[in-house]
Amino acid sequence: MSKNIPDSFNAAVIRQKGGPFEIEQVKRLSMNDDEVLVRVVATGMCHTDMIARDQVFPVPHPIVLGHEGSGVVEAVGSRVRNIVPGDHVVLTFLNCDECHACHEGHPAYCENFNPHNFSGQRIDGTHALASGDGSKLNDRFFGQSSFGEYAVANARNVIKVRKDAPLELLGPLGCGIQTGAGTVMNVLKVTPGSSFVAWGGGAVGLSAVMAAAAVGATTIISVDIVPSRLELAKKIGATHVINSKEEDPVARIREITGGGAQFAMDSTGIAQLVSNMVIALRPRGTAAIVGASNPGTMAELDLTDFMQNCKNLVGVVEGDSVPDRLIPTLVDLYMADKFPFDKLVKFYDLADINQAAEDSEKGITLKPVVRMQPTNGAA
């Protein structure tokens, strides 16, 4: 391995439930022959980082989180063939590549998703990182733990991207933005001339708005309660916006669409909104749930309406994406000015990661992106 690669580096560590992130020197322990060492340029912050911090998901602490990394490849293992040092890459979720779902082309539904992404260790129980004093430090969050200056990832969750794209911007394509866009493109398969409703105007919902515009939907409705988000939605592709605090969203959607939407997606995870989303579909319409709810959350459906009008409701993880296909496609759309996701982003330095988390949770920032260096960082 290159002498220029340090044995220790700065990373943001969560040591207790609820945080805070603590900037520490961590040690790099090892890299397997199917792994890739990435110098992280920047990492997006996602709601999943927050619920892992708070242990809503049973992720072990202490841990380095971060799962929307982008950076430059510094070294590769002996079995890695498709990635070389110097490549610009986006890091995404890790799948096993062995189960039925993976073999059928649906890696987001990998039967071994949890141990690969949430266990805090490699599948064999080993770690790539340790605390500065050598004590145990959980890592491998989404197969990357990219809230640090370096990340060890598996070749399967390292996605090569074009070098003329702004690397520090691209990390969120690995999860949140991939989820919204992939749901529109891969699952709902929104068609040209159709109607689409995004319930929720956060980063995932607005990514879906942009994707719907990119594929040619002509009636695109954003539903939220924050006026600034609704204004942004209009700038990036929404033809109509609804403030559900001020008007009945179901009635307004039916009015706009002439009876109901063809396609819809909920990114809020709020049970009442999911129920409303299904009610506001037209006959044979299709809706998707991508928002994370607390375990045990129940939503009501009018079963007669659902059955008689042949409505469809599906749950979606990671946009049902094959990342090495979708992520380069989204980069190309961005570079062609057809997917302006940069309008969702605000950058923070690593030292300010707790401010980024606070701003995200308060709704001040739609998509925080944490730079690992205080300069622009791109190679």
**Same domain for 294 and 153:** no
pLDDT band at 5; cut points 50, 70, 90: confident
What percentage of the chain carries pLDDT values higher than 90?
Answer: 93
Tell me: do 210 and 129 sit in the same domain: no
Say if residues 160 and 88 touch (Cβ distance below 8 Å).
yes
pLDDT above 80 for 1: no
Domain containing 345: what range? 8-160+340-371
Residue 2 lies in a domain: no
According to DSSP H, which parts of 33-124 are helical?
47-53, 100-103, 113-117
Q: How does DSSP assign 83-98, residue by residue?
A: --TT-EEEE-----S-
Nearest to 98 by CA among 89, 107, 90: 107
Q: Are residues 124 and 182 in the same domain?
A: no
User: What are the helix (H) ranges across the chain?
Assistant: 47-53, 100-103, 113-117, 176-182, 203-214, 227-235, 249-257, 271-279, 303-308, 323-335, 353-361
Average pLDDT of span 173-198: 98
Report pLDDT for 379.
Answer: 38
Residue 216's alpha-carbon distances to 120, 220, 239, 374, in angstroms, are 41, 10, 12, 39
127-137 pLDDT, tens digit per residue, is 999 999 999 99
Place 374 in a pLDDT band, splitting at 50, 70 and 90: low
- Give pLDDT, residue 293: 83
Same domain, 75 and 128: yes
Residues 312 and 283 in one domain: yes
- The count of structural domains within the chain is 2
SS3 state at 231: helix
Mean pLDDT of all residues in 284-301: 91
Q: Has residue 172 been placed in a domain? A: no
Q: What is the CATH number of the domain that holds 216?
A: 3.40.50.720
Does the reported pTM lie above 0.85? yes
Tokens coding 323: 């990342």
Mean pLDDT computed over every residue of the chain: 95
